[in-house]
Structure formats: structure tokens, C-alpha cells
Amino acid sequence: MLAAFDAYLGKRLGKPGGRRLWFDHGDRTLDQFYAPYQDHVDATLAGLGWRKGADFDSRAYPGAAHNEASWRVRLADPLTYLLSK
């Protein structure tokens, strides 16, 4: 599965070019399985020239689940990041 991420990102993503990406996950329910995949995607993006904190960000939210209630609590974070200059 990790090879599929690499192949897709390597062929399709390209350089940031002013674009920004946001990733987040909790550590409950379905989200408990995301961390190793997100770490790999972070490393792949960095290898493609994307800078964490500038071109992309990924955050883990301890205690958060994969559901609307958890997403509502942290909604301001991705909106602030993606809409800031």
C-alpha cells in the first residue's frame, strides 16, 4: 500500500507551486491506524520538495476519533492553515 502512495504522489503531485495540503487524524476508532501511513506520506512529500509547515502540515489529535464530532472540534486548525497567506 505504501508503494501505491509513493507512485501516485510521485507521478501526480509535482512541486507545491503555491498549493498547500493539510492532513490530520486522531488515535481512536479508524484513526488509530493512520499514523504510520501519515508518517510515510510526510516523508514522501518532503522527498518531493514539499516543506512541512509551509507547503503541507499533518497533525495528530490524541483522543480524537474518526467522526464528525472530532472533526468539528479541530475544524479551525485546517481552515486557519489553508486560508492563511
Query: Residues 64-68: what's their mean pLDDT?
Result: 98
* Residue 85 pLDDT greater than 90, yes or no: no
Nearest of 22, 19, 23, 32 to residue 62 by alpha carbon:
32
Q: Output the nine-digit C-alpha cell for 43.
A: 516523508
Asked if 23 and 60 count as a contact pair (C-beta separation under 8 A), the reply is no
Domain boundaries, the chain: 2-7+20-83
pLDDT attached to residue 28: 98
| Mean of all residue pLDDT scores within the chain | 96
Query: Residues 25-31: what's their mean pLDDT?
Result: 98
Cβ count near 66 (within 10 Å): 15
> Which residue is associated with the grid cell 508503494?
3
SS3 helix, strand, coil % of the chain, rounded to 5?
50, 15, 35
* Residue 1 pLDDT greater than 90, yes or no: no
pTM above 0.95, yes or no: no
